[in-house]
Structure 1
Amino acid sequence: MHYQPKDSFQSPRFCGPRTFARMPYVESLDGDLDFVITGIPFDSGASFRTGQRFGPGAIRDFSILLRPYNPEQDINVFDYVSGVDYGDIPVIPGYIQETYDKIVEGLTPVLERGIIPIAMGGDHSITLGELRAVARQYGPVALVHFDAHSDTWDIYFGQKYNHGTPFRRALEEGLLDVSRSIQVGMRGSLYGPEDLNDARNLGFEVYSTNQFKKLGVERTLDIIKERVGSGPAFLSFDIDFLDPIYAPGTGTPEVAGVSIDDALALVRGLTDIRFVAFDLVEVLPQFDHGQITAMSAANIIYEFITLLALRKRAERDQESQFVSNANTTI
């Protein structure tokens, strides 16, 4: 079965249970599935504001406005991909290691079937659990990381596992190919220069928000694609990459961030990268007046799905061209 959103000309958007973009709620992996949307509502790794556990619900609430045709990419997304809202992974509040086990358990069957998970956080600590599951299937992957913070601290409050440490832990566990990994958007006050130098010393290519603004979207995309290459990659998007004007509802906001226009242009431009998993984290609805942050998050995830649809369309076009050339040769 090919899954796609409900027809909002037949069923008003405010009808029915909240699922991402009104996609079917399906907890089975049977059928024709290219991707699943899943929530990971864990926020016990947050260091300042908490409440990110309610992020997946907030994103779903706004996402009912999304429509299947993406005019910026000129593609009817669900003509090419089939996906469902897979529900939430059952996390254990206050118990991060046990929650990591739950994340691996929940995502492993998805990845084993070649289905691409798109996770909604939750704080950024969840990404370590996702990467553990992804590496089981694909080995070390490249990381494309949009964030105001590098999340490569060693210890925070004397603890090694929280939303400030996932990518250092991921390197230590051999989950990332750091030679192909890149972080974009770093900004804000720090405890010292080592906060960013540590990430660079670990092997990440790191660009601050100011560097990105000087480079511009197109040059930054060239740098990302050159860095990542053709191997499998994981895209992790912390909503605090955006300026608080566009994302007030987040745990550790930093001023002078990226506009939603540039953020969407960046994601839209990430074609030709072999993404095998995505996440978007740190949406905190308690501080999100007018659903501004949820609005941005839902549209960014929609662009993740569009990237998958563009890849499928390109594959179909290549197959059609191959058949056409073969017939011409005959």
Structure 2
Amino acid sequence: MEQPRVTANGNIGPIDSSRIPRYAGAATFARLPRLDEVDRADIAVVGVPFDSGVSYRPGARFGSNHVRESSRLLRPYNPALDISPFERVQVADAGDMAVNPFNIHEAIETIQQNALDLTADGAKLVTLGGDHTIALPLLRAASERAGAPVAMLHFDAHLDTWDTYFGAEYTHGTPFRRAVEEGILDTEAISHVGTRGPLYGVKDLEDDRRFGFGIVTSSDVFRQGVDEVVAKLRDRIGNRPLYISIDIDVLDPAHAPGTGTPEAGGITSRELLEILRGMRGMNLIGADVVEVAPAYDHAEITGVAASHVAYDLVSLMADQATATRATPNSTTEER
């Protein structure tokens, strides 16, 4: 059956919702074309249906498709950033990585290689998880593509810099400790945002500081406000290659009940989106949105929030790509 699409500037965009209702047809992210339906992709949205690294409630393996279904209402123009991302660059849905759910080491290797394959022609990735274990291989691939350790903003209720769970070094609570140990993060430009809740002890914070992380808690966002937080983060990151990793549990359970390890006192979806928009003009090279567990997501609240977060990440990348093309001999201007 014919799929009429919105097209502009040689880029193939979403299915035309004035001709096919949004609830009809197979779900791709924002109703965009599949990767095999276009001759190239500047930005690829890819799913990683993997949750074998969780320590509490499972179900994030179903998160990628849940976010896709929740993205049906996304529209081509982003007024908050004054950009039509699908007109600026070619964005496509790359489907899901086929990841072994029974062998976490093999899964990590597969994710890393698939990420390298998808970015071989210069495309950038926005990855839909999956649990937070997947951030480690994605960071490995991003660092390899950048040719250097990368800066990172990590939005999460939790630090995810613990050492092991039950002797296991690779879980959704350990990826950023491993990333520091492997030298793939620029430890002068890494920060957690939105952390809160009880810890195992003060050593958790001492270890985290030793690794180089700055911390902006959810209370900091509330008391200081979005603008001050954005200014501090931009100053810390500068124009380094930046990877953004977003655990949806950074949001308060009122805004994201569908996640595996909810914590009270989180930031709002509005605050998260505004902080991300404050990163406009930065050197964003990759991003993920993880830990969406649809079994706990009544009324699709979490899926909708995650889809809008992913949409803004795509918009930031599209804006950066066109700004770079307009000024090829200069660094990306901060705006």
TM-score, with length taken from structure 1: 0.93
What CA distance in whole angstroms lies between the structure 2 residues aligned with 1:108 and 1:312? 19
Residue in 2 that maps onto 1:293: 302
Range moving further from structure 2, 308-317 or 196-205: 308-317
Question: Contact 2:249–2:259 at 8 Å: present in 1 too?
Answer: yes
Residue in 2 that maps onto 1:44: 52
- CA offset at residue 27 of structure 1? 4.1
Choose from 170, 175, 193 the match for 1:184: 193
- SS of the residue 1:200 aligns to: helix
Q: Determine what percentage of the aligned residue pairs are the same residue.
A: 43
Answering whether residue 273 of structure 2 is matched by residue 264 of structure 1, we say yes
What amino acid sits opposite 1:279 in the alignment? Answer: D
Choose from 243, 252, 263 the match for 2:252: 243
Question: Contact 1:3–1:33 at 8 Å: present in 2 too?
Answer: no
How many residue pairs end up in the alignment?
Answer: 318
What amino acid sits opposite 2:71 in the alignment? Answer: S
Q: Please list, as runs of the form range in 1=range in 2, the aligned pairs for 1:1-330 lying within 5 A after superposition.
A: 2-27=11-36, 31-138=39-146, 139-315=148-324, 317-318=326-327
Question: Contact 1:2–1:31 at 8 Å: present in 2 too?
Answer: no
- CA offset at residue 49 of structure 1? 0.2
TM-score, with length taken from structure 2: 0.92
- SS of the residue 2:12 aligns to: coil
- SS of the residue 1:70 aligns to: coil
Question: Contact 2:282–2:320 at 8 Å: present in 1 too?
Answer: no
Structure 2 unmatched runs, 5+:
1-9, 329-335
Residue in 1 that maps onto 2:331: none
Question: Contact 1:27–1:87 at 8 Å: present in 2 too?
Answer: no
Instruction: Encode CA deviations 1:200-227: one digit per residue, 9 max, x unaligned.
Output: 1111111211122222101111111111
Structure 1 unmatched runs, 5+:
320-330
What CA distance in whole angstroms lies between the structure 2 residues aligned with 1:13 and 1:184? 34
- SS of the residue 1:154 aligns to: coil
- CA offset at residue 243 of structure 1? 0.3
Range moving further from structure 2, 287-296 or 152-161: 152-161
What CA distance in whole angstroms lies between the structure 2 residues aligned with 1:98 and 1:289? 33
Range moving further from structure 2, 76-85 or 296-305: 76-85
What amino acid sits opposite 1:180 in the alignment? Answer: A
Question: Contact 2:35–2:44 at 8 Å: present in 1 too?
Answer: no
What CA distance in whole angstroms lies between the structure 1 residues aligned with 2:87 and 2:162? 43
Range moving further from structure 2, 45-54 or 218-227: 218-227
Runs of 4+ in 1 over 3 A off after TM superposition: 315-319
Give the 3 Å change call, closer, same or farther, for CA 27–96 of structure 1 in structure 2: farther
What amino acid sits opposite 1:217 in the alignment? Answer: V
Question: Contact 2:35–2:41 at 8 Å: present in 1 too?
Answer: no
What CA distance in whole angstroms lies between the structure 2 residues aligned with 1:235 and 1:183? 10
Instruction: Encode CA deviations 1:246-303: one digit per residue, 9 max, x unaligned.
Output: 0000010000100111111111111121111100000000000000000000000010
RMSD between superposed Cα atoms in Å: 1.4
What amino acid sits opposite 1:257 in the alignment? Answer: G
